[in-house]
Structure 1
Amino acid sequence: MLLSQGEEPARTAEPGARRPVDDVPPPAPDEASRDAARVAGSERPWSGAGAVATGVVWGLRATGEGPPHRTAADLDEGAYTCSCASPQPPCPHALELLALHAGDRPVLRRSAEPPAWVAQWLTGVRGGMAADGVPGAAAGPGAKADDGADDRARTARRRADRRAGRVTGGAQDLEQRLTDLLRGGLATAEDPGNPLWEETAARMVDAQAPGLAHRVRELGEVPASGTGWPARMLEECALLHLLDTAWLGLGRLPAPLAATVRSRVGLTASAEGPALRDHWLVLAQYDVPDGRIVTRRAWLHGRTSGRTTLLLSYGAAGRAPDLALPVGSVIDAEVTPYPGGGRLRGELGLRFGEPYADPPPPPGGTTADALAAYGRALRDDPWLDSWPAVLGEVVPAPAAEGWRLVGTDSTALPVAGPALSRPGLWKLAALSGGLPLTVFGTCGHRGFEPLAAWPPDTSDGFGARGPVALL
């Protein structure tokens, strides 16, 4: 049980149930507003509600008569908006929305970006803020443009400092909970359905550290992972402790590692640095459900630079991500890397011309080369699960403990990841037919997850020569 000393278990409510008055957030201006938010504290009146990791929540609140109220809150700035006629912000609707957010209720769908009406309001709040931090107070008519830019920069720094303070509080709380877990023994964590895992994750969400929340949820799934789970639990606890302490000592870390830590706890960053133009071969593309958001991952390999980069695109529930790149095609484009160790992730920029087909695979290495590359990457990012690699001249072969990719030098890597339970594994075996082939995938501490493969070279000239997607 992840429970600090003196702390009571969180109580959960059925969807649509009223929330207790203590759940109404502190910004309530008076007791009457708290009571109104308590009475209204239900999911039923809300629609079109959502939240983003940057601390913005919104929703449409039904009134029973007339159009619904548009309500939004910027938690970083302490700013609220609602189309109701309440004279004193935050109104009961905003308080109710904050209560739903604090409880991580299902009605608040996680989204990559807010809707247009919320984005327009945020522009006024974050773009038109005076130096004293009052939302909506724009620079006067005699102010210089540089003064406005300085004000916005100071505001951005204050916002970043406030969020960093929240993350620090969450990390300290998580450290205490990890300590309590280890003192009490791992047997207390054996129930994967224990609501305290979700309660701890919700605390990390409140601290605006979605990366920590994700790792806590994964920690709660370890006891159901089969034989040997206590060792894996200790391993994950150690990595989580390492991430906590890295954040708490962020100022002492080298800049690349500090950027990696910020990314791992869930702080967003923009692509930076000079863009790299190359002819990029699309190695693989697949979607990964992540709660109510779908993440599309696309792997590219630079024909000239030899660099492999990862592109991410997001889609809300029921919507496919915008990025769509045909596997096996080559695009002449610029890619800008994101900060952090390894600088693996990139952002697709300008494209030149139309995509074209280029069947030959990139140069492949041995299984030892893949393991060595993963080891080097761990020095820059100790929380890295895997690293991209191209294996040349390997044959998929069954073994007593599962499938392996065996190289011409008789070394082998176990096949890991979703491919173990998907038709892709059989597709890989059929594509090989017992002959060596080139495979692209990710190599990590669990093994090698194949994502795409090129058929063996044969003298007949038949068959597809481009990569075959395995996921």
Structure 2
Amino acid sequence: MAERWSAEQVVALAPDASSVAAGRKLAVPRTWSDAGASTAPAAVWGLCQGSGKTPYATVVDLAGPAFRCSCPSRKFPCKHALALLLLWAGGDVPDVAEPAEHAREWLSSRAERAARTERPSTAAPDPDAAARRAERRRARVADGVADLERWLHDQVEQGLTGSDRAGYGPYEQVAARLVDAQAPGLADGVRNLATAAASGEGWPARLLDELALLHLLVRGHARLDTLEESTAAVVRRRVGEPERQQDVLAAPGLRDRWQVLAQHDTVRNRLVVRRVHVRGEATGRDAVVVLFGPPGQPLDVPLPVGTVVDADLHVHPGDPTRVSVGERHGDPAPLREVRGTTLAQVADAWSGLLAVDPWATAMPVVLGDVTPVRRRDGRSRAWVVVDAAGDTLPVVFRDDPWRLVAVAGGRPVTVVADRTVAGVRPVAAWCDDELVPL
């Protein structure tokens, strides 16, 4: 049997704290029947008795990991999958040779889909047709960019007065035209204008900043042929040029022992966005694996949180912080130690990223030995993290600060976070040899 996970690794997969609490309540053998675990395929399954007559059928593909449960929950993994994994981690799920029928059907369908994806196409590509499609797309994008530039000039000439009362409608109309022009990145930029205009006190400065960034992107696209390739790749990505996963994986990979430190989901443009934070043990490089999916549909976990994976990661063109998982060299090992960087080093890295990508809004970081402190900022009090050198950074919390404050307990801790324009947004902490999601 594959090495069992620790309870900390299981908890790190949870979408929120309430799922952890609910999963722990269900992680008792009497709640489960027909539970088992197998090596080939590497999976755990079981039936969890709920309030109804029919128990919930739960399966976890450990190789993903990926999850399936017959319960109506929209969380992935749901409380039943977490409970089953906690039982397995505690040694309360027996090893068996073959999966149960409901588990076998789902695992077989996953294997078949994976085989179809890996099977090379027998149809010979038509380079002329591909070139014609690419040229038509370039023409549509160029027309959309030209229309957007005229619209931006109109906004500045007319002035910003009243923009905070205009609502989202006018911006959404422009964004819809850009989507039709196959420039979804520019459409997102226009939607950001609406958000800035409705952001309350100080909105004119924020709206003007967003207008300037969008205009810079438009001008950069007009000069694509004169830009360095690295800068041109950033501009193409920000405009919304599609990329193929096979092209990303075809580029040389970065091999390291990658620490898998955090996973969190957000909803953006009616899509669930999953970010998995990783850090190279040898290189000290921080990166994220990003997945997208419709709400209510399960997203795979590309790397199990709380482990160290020897693997090749491939950097996406135009996005030095995003990677995709390539070849793996062995099974995941338990995470033993996490070391971060100083706030001064984070500041240098953030400046370097903005020099390459002025439109960047987030960068994965690991802050070493920082303490959360509440300090007076004008008339209010704001949270910051301070390191041993006395450097500070503002903290932007997704929910409330108290979980990080409780984990730290007034002591320095290592914090996994996203460096954003407003400060650092914590997603996990390493404290007392334990990885704690925030």
> Where on the TM-score scale, by shorter chain, does this alignment land: which range?
0.5 to 0.7
1:365-397: CA deviation from partner (whole Å, max 9, x where unpaired):
222221111001111111112322222221101
Q: Give, in angstroms, the shift of residue 294 of structure 1.
A: 1.1
Q: Residue 192 and residue 334 in structure 1: after superposition, are their counterparts in 2 closer, same or farther (change >3 A)?
A: farther
Query: Hey, what does 2:148 align to over in structure 1?
Result: 174
Query: Hey, what does 1:385 align to over in structure 2?
Result: 361
Q: Does 1:239 align with 2:217?
A: no
Residue pairs, 1:18-417, within 5 angstroms: 149=125, 152-191=126-165, 193-269=167-243, 270-271=247-248, 272-340=250-318, 343-362=320-339, 364-401=340-377, 402-416=382-396
Q: Residue 192 and residue 301 in structure 1: after superposition, are their counterparts in 2 closer, same or farther (change >3 A)?
A: farther
Distance 1:265 1:436 in 2: 41
Distance 1:205 1:290 in 2: 16
Contact 1:361 1:466 survives alignment (8 Å): no
Instruction: Specify the structure having the higher radius of gyration (Cα).
Output: 1
SS in 1 for 2:209: helix
1:133-179: CA deviation from partner (whole Å, max 9, x where unpaired):
xxxxxxxxxxxxxxx55xx2222222112111111111111111111
1:424-470: CA deviation from partner (whole Å, max 9, x where unpaired):
x2111001111111112122331111122111xxxxxxxx5132111
TM score, norm. by length of structure 2: 0.68
Contact 1:371 1:443 survives alignment (8 Å): no
Query: Hey, what does 1:467 align to over in structure 2?
Result: 435
Q: Residue 445 and residue 316 in structure 1: after superposition, are their counterparts in 2 closer, same or farther (change >3 A)?
A: closer
Query: Hey, what does 2:93 align to over in structure 1?
Result: none
Q: How many residues align?
A: 314
- Code of the residue aligned with 2:308 in structure 1: it is V
Distance 1:414 1:387 in 2: 15
Query: Hey, what does 1:428 align to over in structure 2?
Result: 404
- Code of the residue aligned with 1:200 in structure 2: it is V
Q: Give, in angstroms, the shift of residue 310 of structure 1.
A: 1.6
Contact 2:267 2:273 survives alignment (8 Å): yes
Q: Give, in angstroms, the shift of residue 317 of structure 1.
A: 3.0
1:214-247: CA deviation from partner (whole Å, max 9, x where unpaired):
1111111112212111101111100000001111
- Code of the residue aligned with 2:345 in structure 1: it is D
Q: Give, in angstroms, the shift of residue 277 of structure 1.
A: 2.2
Aligned sequence identity (%): 40
Distance 1:309 1:282 in 2: 10
Q: Give, in angstroms, the shift of residue 210 of structure 1.
A: 0.6
Q: Give, in angstroms, the shift of residue 325 of structure 1.
A: 3.2
- Code of the residue aligned with 2:385 in structure 1: it is L
Contact 2:321 2:364 survives alignment (8 Å): no
Q: Give, in angstroms, the shift of residue 318 of structure 1.
A: 1.4
Distance 2:217 2:324 in 1: 25
Q: Give, in angstroms, the shift of residue 329 of structure 1.
A: 1.2
Distance 1:345 1:298 in 2: 10
Q: Give, in angstroms, the shift of residue 273 of structure 1.
A: 2.0
Contact 1:181 1:188 survives alignment (8 Å): no
Q: Give, in angstroms, the shift of residue 324 of structure 1.
A: 4.7
Distance 2:345 2:329 in 1: 33
Distance 1:361 1:169 in 2: 49
SS in 1 for 2:434: coil
Q: Give, in angstroms, the shift of residue 256 of structure 1.
A: 0.8
Contact 2:167 2:198 survives alignment (8 Å): no
Contact 1:403 1:414 survives alignment (8 Å): yes
Contact 2:183 2:239 survives alignment (8 Å): yes
Distance 2:220 2:170 in 1: 25
- Code of the residue aligned with 2:393 in structure 1: it is L
Contact 2:286 2:366 survives alignment (8 Å): no
- Code of the residue aligned with 2:394 in structure 1: it is P
Contact 1:281 1:301 survives alignment (8 Å): yes
Distance 2:137 2:350 in 1: 32
SS in 2 for 1:400: strand
SS in 1 for 2:165: coil
Contact 2:313 2:324 survives alignment (8 Å): yes
Distance 1:450 1:228 in 2: 26
- Listed as ranges, the gaps of 5+ residues in structure 1 are 1-115, 129-147, 456-463
| Higher RCO (C-alpha under 8 Å, 6+ residues apart) | 2
